[in-house]
Structure 1
Amino acid sequence: MTPRKIKGLLGLAGAIAGAVAAARGVKSAREDKDKLALANAIASIAVAITGAALAVRGLRKDELA
Structure 2
Amino acid sequence: MTSFAKLRLLFSLATSAFAAVNAVSDVREARREKDRLALANAVLNILAVITGAALAVRSVRGGEEK
TM-score normalised by structure 1 residue count = 0.87
What is residue 36 of structure 2 aligned with on the other side? Answer: 35
User: C-alpha displacement at 1:61, in angstroms?
Assistant: 1.6
Compare the two structures and name the one with the higher helix fraction: 1
Q: Which runs of 5+ in 2 are unaligned?
A: none
Whether 1:2 aligns to 2:3 is: yes
> What amino acid is aligned across from residue 14 of structure 1 in structure 2?
T
* Residue equivalent to 1:58: 59
CA-based RMSD: 1.5
Which runs of at least 4 in structure 1 moved beyond 3 Å after TM superposition?
none
**Higher RCO (Cα < 8 Å, 6 or more apart):** 1
CA shift, 1:6, in A, is 1.0
Code of the aligned partner of 2:41: N
Alignment deviations for residues 14-41 of structure 1 (CA, whole Å, 9 cap, x no partner): 1111111000000000000000000000
Q: Across the two proteins, how many residue pairs are aligned to each other?
A: 62
Identity of aligned residues (%): 47
